[in-house]
Amino acid sequence: MDPAETTTPHKVKKISAANALPLSPAYDEGREPVVYKLVLTGGPCAGKTTAWKKLRALFEEQGWKVYAVPEKATIFFQCGVKIGDLSKERSVQFQENMNDMHLQIEKTFFELAKGEGKNCLVLCDRGIMDLSVFMNEDWWEEYVSSRGLDLLQLRDGRYDQVLHLVTAANGAEQYYGLSTDSTIRNETAEQAFGLDQKLIEAWLGHPCYDIIDNSMSFDEKIRRTVEIVCTRLKKVTGTNVINDGHIKETVKRKFLIKGVPNFKEFPRIEEVMLEHIFLTSDSEQSLNRIEKRSGGNNGSYICTQTITSKGSDGVTTKNRLQLTTQQYEMLSQRQAKHHVVLRKLRRCFVWKWHQYYLDIFLDPKPERCRDLFLLSTYTSKLSSELELPTFLDIGQEVTEDKDYSLYKLSQCDHPTNYNITY
């Protein structure tokens, strides 16, 4: 079987300003202001409200502008709307109207953030994919199509990061309880557990999706939330936003897979196609790469450019920009010599509260990519702590091995084999 063949697979301690994590300045002269769009998601009674308040206060203390976007459904429920009182027809109309309002409110905040003139965090209490779990698949796809929207863009391109806090109904059951205010929470623990799983499936595949479970105290859960946001943000801003040596930074870990994986043993999978092109660079101290991300059968894709530079002080900075199709095509003409267009099928799945990526390299490809299956995940755990998928025959870790970097893997074996002009 071709390994790339598609298969069908599923009381809070206050942190004072003195103990706050040091962030980057609100604006660095000579750099474009950052607009960072962050979603907090997860089932009921997960800690989202606490984390939302903590992040807002922390970033504002550091001089960032924060737009805190509230959960839209709560607005309706606190104003007297009861889903159970609506007929099926009215319920459908209400859900679609709420989706429309969600998108419009977010658009308003996104546009405000663009004109802010300094670093800005747009902190969203739930994102548009959260609303999809209250609609069946056909209804959701029909809604997206009727509004002229794109599924890939909604999930993967709309937000910079999605952070999922797992409901207390999964792993901290003794702390799960119904809210005394039925307009806010009325799910049983079983319903909350099921909703949490649906939300994981809805966001599966997002390029920057992290899950925080209940294997720690609640205070630590909130702290990990802050840590993950700050370390991921560092990759976007190119500045060291965390200066606390005790912080557990999230890093990308990579492992080799032995043999051909048996995809029938996998949990639910979400597939995306990736295309990487390294471009000529003006400096030996910088790497310039563009990427095309596609998914589904509608031919849609997201294009980005990533420029990684190392300064004279040894500090590495990274800037990531979204591109139009025309910009992508124009930049692709600057493909670097001695490098091929590297294409791969990425299979995303969740295992032990981590989103994993299994990359399968597609033809034409350099010889070093033959029979190569590369597994990766973002984590703060040490090798001895990370529970790797048991259904895969995992070989050595290659996180620090430059031979398995995208730059090295995309280098030509024999230039003439890849129609590259020198």
What pTM was computed for the model? Answer: 0.86
Backbone angles phi, psi at 81, to 5 degrees: -75, 130
Distance, in Å, from the CA atom of 401 to the CA atom of 1, rounded to the nearest integer, reads 30
pLDDT above 70 covers a percentage of the chain that reads: 83
Point out which residues pair with 349 in neighbouring strands.
Answer: 356
For the chain, what's the residue count? 422
Distance, in Å, from the CA atom of 215 to the CA atom of 331, rounded to the nearest integer, reads 45
* Whole-number Cα distances in Å, 267 to 7, 145, 192, 264, 373: 11, 28, 21, 8, 17
pLDDT one-digit tens code per residue, 75-92: 888 888 888 888 989 999
- Expressed in angstroms, the distance from the first to the final Cα of the chain is 37
| DSSP letter assigned to residue 33 | P
State both tokens at 78: 């606190």
Q: Is the pLDDT of residue 375 over 60?
A: yes
- 289 neighbors 278 (Cβ within 8 angstroms): yes
State both tokens at 67: 């737009």
How many Cα atoms sit within 13 Å of 260 on the Cβ side? 8
- 58 neighbors 226 (Cβ within 8 angstroms): yes
pLDDT one-digit tens code per residue, 141-177: 999 999 999 999 999 999 999 999 999 999 999 988 7
* Class of domain 21-237 as given by CATH: alpha beta
pLDDT one-digit tens code per residue, 19-62: 333 333 443 445 678 899 999 999 999 999 999 999 999 889 88
- Please report how the helices 137-146 and 88-114 are oriented relative to each other, as an axis angle in degrees rounded to 10: 50
286's enclosing H/E stretch is strand 286-294
- The CATH architecture annotation of domain 251-418 reads Beta Barrel (2.40)
Q: What is the mean pLDDT of residues 190-210?
A: 95
State both tokens at 258: 């032995």
pLDDT one-digit tens code per residue, 335-368: 999 999 999 999 999 999 999 999 999 999 999 9
Domain boundaries, the chain: 21-237, 251-418
The pLDDT value given to residue 106: 97
Burial class, 192, CB count within 10 angstroms (exposed 0-12 / middle 13-18 / buried 19+):
buried
The CB density around residue 279, as the number of other CB atoms within 10 Å, is 17
* Longest pairwise C-alpha distance within the chain: 70
Task: Dump strand ranges (E) for 192-246.
Answer: 209-212
